[in-house]
Structures are given as C-alpha cells and as structure tokens.
Structure 1
Amino acid sequence: MLRRVRVLGLMAAAIGLTVLATSGCMPIPPTAGFLFVPRHTGSAVAAHPIDSFTVPQHPHLASNGRSSMHNDAYATDAYSGPGPLGRHPKVTSATHGIEECATLAFDRAGRLLGLCGDILGPELKLIDPESLAVLAKRALPGRALRLGVNPLEDLCGGAYFYLDEADRAVVATTNRQIQVIGEPNLSVLQTYELSSLVPDDDCLIALMPDWSGWIWFETAGGRVGTVDPANGAGRVLQLLPGETIANSFAVDESGGVFVVSDHALYRLDADRHGAPQITWRQPYDRGARRKPGQLSQGSGTTPTLFSRGDGRGRVAITDNAEPVMNVLVFERDSGRFVCGVGVFEAGASATENSLVAVGDSLIAENNYGYTGPMSTMFGSTTTPGVAKVDVAGDRCSVAWTSPVIAPTSVPKASLASGLLYVYAKPPHRAIATWYFTAIDLRTGRTVFSVLTGTGIQWNNHYAAITLGPDGSAYVATIAGLVRIRDEPGR
C-alpha cells in the first residue's frame, strides 16, 4: 500500500495544480526534460491505403470506429478512416486531474465521450474534440478498495462502455448496474439492476449487445450474462469453477459471443429465451505465472474477430505460454484450432492489449515488464516488440517484428493511411519521454515519432489510442487527454 501511496504522491507532484484544471482547460505540464529531447523523428508520408475485410455494422452500436474501446463489434482496433501522417504534427493536451479516460467514443456530432476515473471511481465525460474541455460530466457509483487488488489495475466498472445506435452510453457500474446515459446533459435514462445475478463479492467488467439486441455482460468472477433491454430480465451462466475474466469480448452477426477467461476461449450463444449457452470451449496454455505487464495469469487480449478472403470467420487471442507467448487462431463456428505462432523474445513476451486485425494479418504489442507507472519513471522502460502475424490457410507466420517499445498502448491501425499507431517510450538515461509513433503496416518500419510530453503524467497506463473522424489521434494519460493532428497547411 505504501508503494501505491508513493506513486500517487509522485503523480500529484508532477501534475501540480490539477484541482484547478478539471474542466480540461489547462495543458498537461511537462517536466524540464522536455527541453532536452527530440520533438520529432522520421518524416511525413503519403497515405498508402491497405485492404482489409469489411466489418459488418452492428445494428445496436454506433458507427464502426466510434462505438467502443476496440472500435467495433469484432474488436478489430482498425479504422477505415485516416490517421496522422506526420505533416507538421501538432500536439495539444488538457489536464483533467489525476485520472484517465480508459475508453473514448465519438457521438454523431464528433464530440468525445470518455469513461474516466481514478482510484476512487469512474465518471462519464462529454469532451470537446478540439479544445479538450469537458462539456458535461456524470459521476458514476464509486469504487471500494478491494482486498488484494491494486487500485491502479482494478477493471471493475471503470474500463469499458459502449455507445449504442442512438448515441447513448451504456455503462457497467461498480455497484452491479447497467446504466444507459443520454446527451446532452448525460442524464441516466435507464438502469438495469444486476445485484440478483452478480454477488457482492464479484463485479462487472465489460458489456456489449449481440445482434438481436440482448445486452451481454461479463464479471471478474467468471460469470457471463444477458439482459433483455425491453424489461430488464436477466440471466447468468457461471464458467468453469476457478476461472476469472479480465478482458472485454467480441460479438458477430451469427449470434456468437466470444469471451476469454484466464483458462480458455469460449464461444457462447443465446438460446431462444436469451439465456447464455456455451457453444464451444478451447483451453490454452495459461503459463505458470502472471507475467509483468499483465493483469491476470492468462490471455491479456480481448478476442479479435476477422474474416479471411474465403469468407471463413476466425477468432484470435494470445496465450500466456513460456518461453514465448503465442498468437492463436480458431474457427469461429466450430472452435477448431487453425494455427499459432510465438512472438517476441524468449522469457520476455506478454501482452495486455487486444490484437489488431488487418486483412489476413494480426498485430501484437509486447507489454512485458510494465508493472505500473513506477516501471516507466525517468529513463526506465519496458521490453521491445510489435509483431505482425500473417494467417495463410492453416498456417501462421511472423511477417515482421518492430523494435519499438510501447509499454501499454492499445495500438490502432488506419486502413486509409496504411499505418499502425502505438504510444512509445524509448529508453533514456534520465528522462521519461513519451512519443506517438507511426509504423508502416506493410513493412514494420517506423515512419515517424512525435513527442507528446515528458514525465509520469504522460503515461497512458493501458488507455487506448483513438482516431477521430477528422484524422486526429487521441491518447488518454493518467493526467488528462492528448490530441495529435497534422497541420499540412503550415
């Protein structure tokens, strides 16, 4: 506990007068090291679009690319639109106090909706996409400290939400409710009470609708359930005893719901009454330890769905094997194992972020060595590696591995630009430097890196990179929000 107090104290000292800046009108302050490191490396590039499969638009989600942390129902983490190309990049920021917005989405007006929070609990914010000022906010039920759980790693009711087809935020709360929240004042329109389905020693992790409209949810204690949005009736299924869940899930148009526990990958479907049923279960190698960089001993990935050129649906995760972690691919309908391949160096491979799906390829980021903000203080950093895996028939192979170090960035791809974006922290003798970095999807070559800031306050701590409708990129940090955009007219 003393270590966590020390971390928060350092954060407060670095950020300074954040209490006065919670509306998001002041920039995140850099440290003095900002004066002594490169602002930009590499060069601008022309857009080089890359082909991929079409993700069907979910009828109960906002448009693909703006509905949730992982972009769409398939959790591809790929955008059809553009991202920054490095043309006179401009970085702006706004501090929101000592908290971060783990998930960002966009409403039809182009405004950001963020599920933000600190160790005491989450809140939902409506944020101007240009000034980054907070336009409205809604406090959500607070978080009680849980015995044995680091509050900086607590996923209960504060990491995931989705934006539905009517621009309503559907949020899992810390007190075992689902709240439906509407604009412009972020008022609560509907509450679904789940305390009869989820005991008080368990908590909600993530939620997502299936194609028929049932709201599915999962809990840290290994429960998966559904709620009928018409009447609030709920049903729940317990996975195998001892299994826990620490990631979100994906859904497809056939009714499949793909969940990964710390022991196995599942496909579930609803029966005619809406009750969840296990269609298939595939165990994987969960290893013998929780590796540094992960939140559980098991897969750190939300299942990612993709379709090959022949139209056959696949689902991919990573395992937690030793000496190297593997990217694993299965058929969605049958659960048949298709292929797997190891990524990164022996004894130093782990991820806590979803795979990115582009065409017949999957991209994994190495998070090995990240144990919290202290692990990237000053010049310290984590283990290198961003890898692209190609899936050809029933064979997986590593196409390239980049040496970029991205401690926890939830990487994103722009199909229109042909680039992958990560939030990088290269090693340095004394200064904590954070860079928004673009990698060529075809070759793995680093195209450019833009300095966002220096110091612990620029650490994203597992928050996702998000691309906006205008091609801007956003990164939430433990002190606020950062925007990176091109200024080609300069």
Structure 2
Amino acid sequence: MRLRTLRAVPALAALSLVLSAPAFADSAGAPYGPLPPQNPATAANGTATMHGDSASSDTTPYAGPGTGAVGWSRTALASACPTIVIGSDAKPVALCTTIFGQTPTVHLLDPADGSDLASLALPKGSLFGGVYAYLDSGNALVVVDGNDNLLRVGHHQDAAGHWSLTADQSTPLAGAVPAGDNIVGLSPGWDGRIWFATGGGVIGTVDTGTGAVRTLSTGESVGNSISTVPGHTAVATDHALYLLTEAPDGTPAVEWRAAYDRGPGRKPGQLSWGTGATPSFFGPGDGTEYVTITDNAAPHENLLVYRVAGGPTPVCSTPVLTQYPASGTEDAVIASGRSVFVTNTYGYPYPALPAGAPASTPASAGFDGGLSRIDLDADGNGCHPVWNSAVKSAALPRLSLGDGLIHTLTVSGPTGAAGVQTFASYSYATIDPATGAQRSSSWIGVGLLYNPLQMTGTTAPDGTLYQGTETGVLRIARR
C-alpha cells in the first residue's frame, strides 16, 4: 500500500528559482544547464540525491555561500555522512555510516544550526547500503536496509515539539537479491516504480504499491549509484555502461551496452576496479540528450560521452587530467549543458575500502588532485579540453547554476594516508567554471574531523552548504 502521494510542489520552486537566476555561459557563450527534468518522485533538483537529482548531474539551482566571508559549524556524529538531502520543509536529512560498526543511520538536522534533532539506526548491510538514497517528494528518505527492505523513512514532530524518524513504509526485496549480495544504488523512474542495482550486477524495478519486483542480471559488479531520466535508466558496471528501459510489467530491458577500458586493476584513490563514476545525464536541450562516465584506462582515464539515442559508440572519448603522470576518479562528473568537469582522486587515501576490494595497481601513489573541464563540440559529435586546474579537491565538487561557481572543499599540507587524518588542512573553496581559477578559499580546520572523503555537499535554498565529513556534517554559510 502506498503511504504517500507524490507531489511536484518542490519542483515548481526550483523551476522558478532557475528561471530568475542569471545565465552563466560556457566557453561557446551558451549558458550552463538546463537542469535535468524534475523527477516527480523526488524532492527538488539540487537537494534530492547525493548527486543533486536523479540524473546525477551534480548541479544545483541554488547559490552557495559565495566568495565572501563564511561562518561554519560542525555536527559531530561519529559517522561518515555521504548523503545529505533537503526537502520542501528545509530540514536536512543525512544518511551516515557509523565509524564503529559501520551501521547506516539516518539523522534529521536542524537547519538553524545543524544540530542533530533525531536519528534512526538501520539494519547493517554492505558499506554502500549506507551511502546511496534519495528524498522523495513527500520529504521521506528512500533507502534500503541491511535486510534488503526498501524503506521510506519519514520525520515527524509530536505535540511537545520533539522530532522522531520512523520507517513509514517497507517493501521486501530480499527475494530478488541473491544470497550474499547487497543493493548498491536506487533511483526512481517516472512511472512510479523504483530502480535498483546490486553489487553483484542484478538490476531491477519495484512497485511499492503492489510489491512487484522485476529483475535482470548482468553478471558484472556495480560499485556506484544509478541514474534515471524520463524513459531511461543508466547503470555502470565494472565492465560496461548500460542504458535501460522497461517492459510494461516493469522488467528491465537493455537498450544498449557500451564496454569500456577497465584498466589493469583498481587504481589507488578508487574503491573498486572499473569506473568510479555514477553515470550522469546532461545536454544543452532538455538535459537528457547525453550520458557520460569515466573509464579506468591506464595511466590516464578517459571521459566517455554517449548520445542516449545514438547507441553504444561514444561521441567523445578523450584522456583527462593528463597534466599528471596518472589519473583516475572515484567521483561522478559534473555535467551541465555542453560542459563536463572531471575530478582527479588518483592516490586519495581512503581510510577504509569495501569488503573484497582488490589490491590497487600500483600499490600506492601520491594525491595530486586536479580538475579538468571538457566541452562537447558545437555539432555534438566530439569534445575538446577547455582547461586543467591544479585545485586539490577533497570533496566531489558541485556546479551552481544560481551563482555560476563550483563549490568544494580543498586540502593542503600532507595528504598521505596519515596526513589527511592528522595535519592536512581543509578549506571551503569556490572555482570559476569558465577558467578553472580558484575564486576564494576559507579555512575550515585540520585533520580527520574535517576530511570530506571525496563526498559531495548539498546547498540549501538559503545558500547554506551542508558537507559530509569522515566524522559528521559541516554547515557552511555566508556571514
């Protein structure tokens, strides 16, 4: 039984904001954007998923803290918090994984000061089970627990003003998940069904109204989330990018499969062997014409861009971040209009790896950082580099269509395995997407309390940036 009626009110607010925002142009003079289509099953674009929207564009319609003075506070949760989403009630909801025990836990935060209003621990599953989720249009967090139940976790206030988090709906998926496997990614389609992918490569849909689940198996591993736009779902395995649709009964169907160069092994600074990127839909028309990932070629990864309607042959395949001896990424790209921005995480020292992750090739490497911008050619049949930046991003950056800046946290100082946890220094920074130049930097702190672990931040409509870290959540706002 469906316990919530989907509503599109948040989408109207986002659309109104974008239409009134200034147009920030790419290298060809065209404005960045548009935002992807607003998914009717999610909160507003920019705040609905880890990557902003169900298309995983890593853009937001909201202006961030900006280039001036900022203030910040830290909410200590003894957890790494990769997903922070915000609904129409302005309440941030964070999905975190505890440092001790790796228990996925949902937290409701106070937008006034970032304090923890309520929490709900979920049954433990895989590491990724405490990473990917989305906020629906009724402000409930949609997540899978360790028992393979698809949950809608709502937040509620009692007569005394106290908040609580409860699982308001539960749909069992265990019968569709092989023993020992776990669900990695979730994203809603436009027809009311929810798409999911498991670490073992099972891709499925579920109707939470009827409980019907339909699946197919790729036989390949999945290490990142999945993305949806009207009529299409994209899933990247450790061997290929899949574009899928569905039969009338919800059974997934492969439209095309594009194999990519997975390289000789897992690179240092990545969590799995294969692409480290969630697929991102983008385009200058309606935001869905193209889909892109990075491969795992050595020594330099390639940006691969496919025309959604064009099949498995990429319109763009170009090495990126070639200013360094080697490159790779565990981050999704930023994709907007005709522009794609790729972050280099090669050598980034994660404090923990997923169970079963193979040894890296090479065994270790220094972290150089770097960010590159690549634009599609005017005819849409090729691409070209625009700039390479030496910015050392420790978070997955996000492009704001509201202020025309890229927002991230940077790292300086010792960035080896011990350094990022002790003496490395972290700052909130803005980057000019037209040139790659750093526009501002505001120091935040030193050591593991502030390490963002290549996780992405979420900007609220009021301009406050919520950035997950290794131990909690940072709240960064204009002074």
Coarse TM-score class (shorter-chain normalised): 0.7 to 0.9
Is 1:261 aligned to residue 241 of structure 2? no
Residues matched between the structures, number: 422
Is 1:364 aligned to residue 342 of structure 2? yes
Question: How well do the aligned residues superpose, as a CA RMSD in angstroms?
Answer: 2.0
Structure 1 residue 342: deviation in Å? 0.9
Is 1:120 aligned to residue 105 of structure 2? no
1:101 maps to 81
Cα distance between partner residues in 2 of 1:222 and 1:92: 40
1:401 to 377, 380, 388: 388
Q: Deviations over 1:69-124 (max 9, x none)?
A: 01112111111120122222112212112x12110100212110010112431111
Structure 1 residue 156: deviation in Å? 3.1
1:53 to 15, 18, 34: 34
Query: What is the letter of the counterpart of residue 260 of structure 1?
Result: A
Cα distance between partner residues in 1 of 2:349 and 2:75: 26
Cα distance between partner residues in 2 of 1:366 and 1:471: 26
Q: Deviations over 1:217-244 (max 9, x none)?
A: 11000110111121111111100x3x10
Runs of 4+ in 1 over 4 A off after TM superposition: 309-312
2:474 to 447, 460, 482: 482
2:370 to 369, 385, 388: 385
1:38 maps to none
1:352 maps to 330
Structure 1 residue 374: deviation in Å? 9.1
- Is the 2:94–2:106 contact (alpha carbons within 8 Å) kept by the matching residues of 1? yes
2:62 maps to 81
Is 1:236 aligned to residue 215 of structure 2? yes
DSSP 3-state at the match of 1:183: strand
Cα distance between partner residues in 2 of 1:435 and 1:88: 12
Cα distance between partner residues in 1 of 2:53 and 2:320: 25
1:15 maps to none
The alignment's TM-score, normalised by the length of structure 1, stands at 0.83
- Is the 1:125–1:134 contact (alpha carbons within 8 Å) kept by the matching residues of 2? yes
1:248 maps to 225
DSSP 3-state at the match of 2:234: strand
The alignment's TM-score, normalised by the length of structure 2, stands at 0.84
DSSP 3-state at the match of 1:157: helix
Cα distance between partner residues in 1 of 2:244 and 2:325: 33
Cα distance between partner residues in 2 of 1:357 and 1:325: 17
Residues 71-80 or 303-312, more deviating: 303-312
1:205 to 171, 179, 184: 184
- Percent identity reads 36
- Is the 2:341–2:373 contact (alpha carbons within 8 Å) kept by the matching residues of 1? yes
2:357 maps to none
1:224 maps to 203
- Is the 2:75–2:115 contact (alpha carbons within 8 Å) kept by the matching residues of 1? yes
In the alignment, structure 2 segments of 5+ residues that lack a partner are 1-21, 26-30, 157-163, 354-364
DSSP 3-state at the match of 2:345: coil
Residues 190-199 or 337-346, more deviating: 337-346
1:427 maps to 413
- Is the 1:156–1:174 contact (alpha carbons within 8 Å) kept by the matching residues of 2? no
1:284-299 superposed matches below 5 A: 284-299=260-275
- Is the 2:237–2:274 contact (alpha carbons within 8 Å) kept by the matching residues of 1? yes
Cα distance between partner residues in 2 of 1:374 and 1:434: 20
Task: Sort the Cα spacing of 1:311 and 1:77 in 2 relative to 1 into closer, same or farther, 3 A.
Answer: closer
Cα distance between partner residues in 2 of 1:264 and 1:216: 18
Structure 1 residue 484: deviation in Å? 1.5
1:313 to 289, 294, 302: 289
